[in-house]
Chains A and B, each alone.
Chain A
Amino acid sequence: MNNTELELLKIIADMNATPDGAYNIRANGKLADRQVTENVNIKTKTDNPGIDIIIKPNTKNETVHIPVIISETGLTDLVYNDFYIGENSDVTIVAGCGIHNCGENESRHDGIHTFYVGKNAKVKYIEKHYGEGDGNGSNVMNPTTIVNIEDGGYMEMETAQIKGIDSTKRVTKARLADNASIVIHEKIMTHGTQHAETDFTVDLDGENSGANVISRSVAKGNSFQKFLSKINGNNVCNGHTECDAIIMDGGKVTAIPELTANNIDASLIHEAAIGKIAGDQLIKLMTLGLTEKEAEEQIINGFLK
């Protein structure tokens, strides 16, 4: 693996060296390296491109890394990754995709990730998307995440688009059984003429199921972001969705909440706030000796931290 690729791995998966535990590194559409453990098996799919990640029941405190990197210009990579999280397990999965595109053609990664979270299992899923390159070729990523959580299961999803992705459509659909819950934190920063669309749908089917979907985003330059968040309360449940966006320069943001209560005991809340950085925030930091630009950076870094 060359230095560019190693650098991408560090950015998207915090990988400085071969990680402990199971991992699968996909580079330019092919398997680059893989390790399995006693409790975590990774198998190449036979019907579609992609992998199955199978975590045995009762697996505790293991981390699985499955980064994808693309350093060839003009490559389109489509993968189907399925995650089977065994009952009562407690694991962390670090995914992420980095594109280095120095050419003139579009580089694209579309990942379709399906999670089957078993009874009383806990999973933390961390996903970072990042693009770079000196060429004019665009970087495109369209991640789809399908989540099924069984009774008492819990999933925490942290998804971040750091920079450099010209176009993205991010679709997340979750279906929750009794006592299951999901927490999603999304962070997106767009610049230039980038376009980012997020579409969350959560079906709270189970009794006492719960969802908390929180998005924080910054739209700079002439970029555009659209945030759709649907929560369907189909049982006794709690749902909360929040979109908080900072717009700068000519950035534009649309936030569309859609809450549907199909049960008298469904409790659903949506919050959305879009605006530029407040003048008094800048002034406060300037009274501490920061320039306006430094103040702006601190505010945005904090907001997206």
Chain B
Amino acid sequence: MLELKNVSFTAENGEGEKEILKDISLKIEDNFTVITGPNGGGKSTLAKIIAGILTPSSGKILLDGEDITGLSVTDRAKKGISFAFQQPVHFKGIRVYDLLSLASGKNLSLNDACDYLSQVGLCARDYIDREVNSSLSGGELKRIEIATVLARSTKVSVFDEPEAGIDLWSFGNLIKVFEKMHGSCGGSIIIISHQERILNIADSVVVIDSGRIKTVGSKQEVLPKLFGTVEKGCRASVCSGKETE
């Protein structure tokens, strides 16, 4: 379980200091949690604080009861935290296979590497030897990014807006990947997202607005409030499926 205790984060900008996160306390169980909320509300900052890329100005982060606030990105990764970037990073000369091998922490067999790529809907043989550079499309890079997190198979996986840059055609496949992860993964999956279809497969939903937690609860509790009353704000994707049980 991941726990944030009174986490605040202040960033410097040209006009002085700005408080991005304000006293966030949150327990994230071993389930599928979606963090949502308006743009600029602090969601991505929170994801980076969990991964250790940003250090909170105050507060603590606990992983299974252990204080990891002072740990580096590397040490947190070793403790079992994975992070998928919103904007995947390009590497000249590093192949998709190399990146997946580094992610898995061992020399992956070609079959295993291909399996991770197949899981994110990429035809493995076409990609395994490609360089992770701008010759790949945004959607392809995004899926490879997700495959690196699958290859790590850690107890906490954080995805920062996995849907950003993915076309409508690929989006259905992406949802399937998360549904599958949800079914098979014993740990916490944390997704920063605006997408209703991702919210629909969440166990719990956290709404962050203006740096504060606005709402936390099960999908059934939070979504109707998020989209207004069910009657007023009913959207096909929210009203269909499990919500109507």
Quick check: B89 and A281 within 8 Å, CB to CB? yes
Residue B241 interfacial (CB < 8 Å): no
Contacts of B88 in A (CB 8 A): 284
A284-B74 CB under 8 A given contacts A289-B105, A298-B94, A298-B102: no
User: What's the least CB distance linking B147 to chain A, in Å?
Assistant: 12
Q: Which 6 A-B pairs have the closest CB atoms?
A: A302-B93, A302-B94, A289-B77, A286-B73, A284-B89, A287-B83
- How far, in Å, is A275 (CB) from chain B's closest CB? 12
Least CB distance, B192 to chain A, in whole angstroms:
15
Whether A290 contacts B102 by the Cβ 8 Å rule is yes
Besides the known contacts A289-B105, A290-B77, 7 further A-B residue pairs in the complex with CB atoms under 8 A apart? A286-B72, A286-B77, A287-B53, A288-B152, A289-B152, A302-B98, A303-B93
Q: In the complex, which residue of chain A has the Cβ closest to the Cβ of B154?
A: A289
Say which residue of B85, B93, B98, B102 sits within 8 Å of A280 (CB atoms).
B85
Query: Which residue from chain A places its CB closest to the CB of B77 in the assembled complex?
Result: A289
Is A289's CB under 8 angstroms from B94's CB?
no
> Do the beta carbons of B93 and A288 come within 8 Å of each other?
no
Q: Is A278 an interface residue (CB 8 A)?
A: yes
Identify the closest chain A residue to B79 (Cβ).
A289
What's the nearest-Cβ distance from chain A to residue B201, in Å? 24
30 CB contacts below 8 A, A to B, read: A278-B89, A280-B87, A280-B89, A281-B91, A283-B53, A284-B85, A285-B102, A286-B72, A286-B74, A286-B77, A287-B73, A287-B81, A287-B82, A287-B83, A288-B77, A288-B99, A288-B105, A289-B74, A289-B78, A289-B105, A289-B152, A292-B74, A299-B91, A299-B94, A302-B91, A302-B92, A302-B93, A302-B94, A302-B95, A303-B93
Say how far B186's CB is from chain A's closest CB, in angstroms.
19
Indicate if B51 sits at the interface (CB-CB under 8 A).
yes
Bound Cα distance from A284 to B85, whole angstroms:
8
A-contact bits for B85-127, CB 8 A (1 contact / 0 none): 1011111111100110011010000000000000000000000
C-alpha spacing A251/B73, complex, angstroms: 27
Q: Considering only CB atoms and an 8 Å cut-off, how many residues of chain A contact the other chain?
A: 22
Bound-state Cα–Cα, A298 to B91, Å: 10
Interface centre among A216, A278, A291 (most CB of B within 10 A): A291
B69 CB within 8 Å of chain A: no
Residue from the list A244, A283, A288 in contact with B103, Cβ < 8 A = A288
Interface residue B55 (Cβ < 8 Å from any Cβ of A) = no
- A298 and B93 CA atoms in complex are apart in Å by 10
Nearest residue in A to B145 (C-beta to C-beta)?
A284
* A303 nearest in chain B by CB position: B93
| Interchain CA distance A289-B81 in the complex, whole Å | 9
Main SS class of interface, B? mixed
Contact flags A263-305 to B (C-beta < 8 A → 1, else 0): 0000000000000001011011111111110000011011111
When distances are taken between beta carbons in the complex, the residues of chain A under 8 Å from B92 are 216, 244, 302-303
Q: How far in angstroms is the closest Cβ of chain B from A70? A: 31
Q: Please indicate the chain B residues that have their CB under 8 angstroms from the CB of A290 in the complex.
A: 74, 77, 102
Alpha-carbon separation in the docked complex, A284 to B98 (Å): 13
With an 8 A cutoff between CB atoms, is B193 at the interface? no
Interface residues of B in 162-194 (CB under 8 A from A): none
A288 touches B102 (CB 8 A): yes
Q: B148 within 8 Å of A by Cβ?
A: yes
Question: Which A residues are in CB contact (< 8 Å) with B77?
Answer: 286-290
Q: In the complex, which of the residues A287, A290, A298, A302 has the most CB atoms of chain B within 10 Å of its own CB atom? A: A287
CB-CB nearest in chain B for A292: B74
CA of A300 to CA of B84, assembled, Å? 22
Q: Which of A278, A286, A289, A305 contacts B93 (CB 8 A)?
A: A305
Which of A244, A278, A285 has the most chain B CB within a 10 Å cutoff?
A285
Within the assembled complex, what's the spacing in Å between the Cα atoms of A26 and B74? Answer: 48
In the complex, what's the smallest C-beta–C-beta distance from B10 to chain A, in angstroms?
Answer: 20
* Chain B residues, Cβ within 8 Å of A299: 91, 94
A302 CA to B129 CA in the complex, in Å?
A: 13
Assuming the contacts A280-B85, A303-B92, asked whether A291 and B102 have C-beta atoms less than 8 A apart, the reply is no
When distances are taken between beta carbons in the complex, the residues of chain A under 8 Å from B73 are 283, 286-287
Is A287 a contact partner of B94 (Cβ separation < 8 A)? no
Q: How far is the CB of A100 from chain B (nearest CB, A)?
A: 29
- Asked if residues B74 and A291 are in contact (CB atoms below 8 Å), the reply is yes
Q: How far is the CB of B38 from chain A (nearest CB, A)?
A: 25
| CA–CA, A54 and B51, complex, Å | 61
A273 to chain B, nearest CB (A): 10
Q: Which residues of B have CB within 8 Å of A291?
A: 74
A51, chain B: closest CB distance, angstroms: 35
**Which residues does chain B contribute within 8 Å of A280, judged by CB atoms?**
85, 87, 89
